[in-house]
Homo-oligomer: A and B are copies of this chain.
């Protein structure tokens, strides 16, 4: 099944303890679509400026991603610069130039409107809701958000939350959104706001999915997936979006929402996130193969599973 993502395509300047890049392809929709492209057909709705060239388009095309939905506007593409210190979970923003992204008003092409799986990457919840309403036939809609919208646009965000199936956020955002210092309690409070599932990402410790009672007919027990203990996180940028891409991409590829599908999706999310941080920007996702993904999926199992031998019985 196809998967539509709406979000930012950008250029990033990134500094980490492992190096520095001035200007490379980035943006939530970029990481997401590259990660998801290993599982399913991906369509992107985004906006870019005059500085977005054939070279950048080729990155998507090489992964057979449909970019007809990327609008080209006069002006500059969204640019973000940030720096990571020893704590890879926290970026210090150095520069943000919205450019053409400031007036982003996503219009879904007719050809995309029947897409059954949709991901609303981190943009203004008003725009997310607008997209959601254009995609009435969607079967499963995931969404992301960030502290800025939680703090200053809560009413809009709450409307968006009522309209999606799964929210993917990190620990800090979950606690802020739920106004609760406990992650498991925060998860329950977020579920009460609307989404049938909430995936809370714990950075280097993995992620947990919590379900509403009765949602998808699969029981409400949470499921926890690991990440790889990585000694050298070269560039954490895009790890969360790559997780979302692996998660949503796998779900879309299966065409059914069983507990087993969600569990594997959590693992694939972690796997894609773990690859994304191995190199600067989208570099590692560009060179990645499905065989490498499946190999690391096995490593994730070995990292967490008891009686692994039962598999080959």
Report which A residues bind B (CB closer than 8 A).
Answer: 86-88, 181-185, 187-188, 202, 204-206, 208, 210, 221-226, 229-233, 260, 263-264, 267, 299, 301-307, 310-311, 313
Contacts and interface: CB of A to CB of B under 8 A. Distances in A.
Nearest to A202: B205
A233 B182 CA distance: 9
- Counting every copy of the chain, the complex holds 2
Given A226-B224, A229-B224, A263 B181 contact: no
B221 A302 contact: yes
Contacts of A202: 205
27 contacts: A86-B181, A87-B181, A182-B231, A182-B233, A183-B204, A183-B229, A184-B230, A185-B231, A187-B229, A205-B205, A206-B224, A210-B229, A221-B299, A221-B302, A221-B303, A223-B304, A224-B226, A224-B229, A224-B303, A226-B304, A260-B306, A263-B306, A267-B306, A304-B304, A304-B305, A305-B305, A313-B313
A311 B302 contact: no
Given A185-B231, A307-B311, A310-B313, 20 more contacts: A86-B182, A182-B231, A183-B204, A184-B230, A184-B231, A187-B229, A202-B205, A205-B205, A210-B229, A221-B299, A221-B302, A222-B229, A223-B304, A224-B226, A226-B304, A267-B306, A301-B306, A305-B305, A310-B311, A313-B313
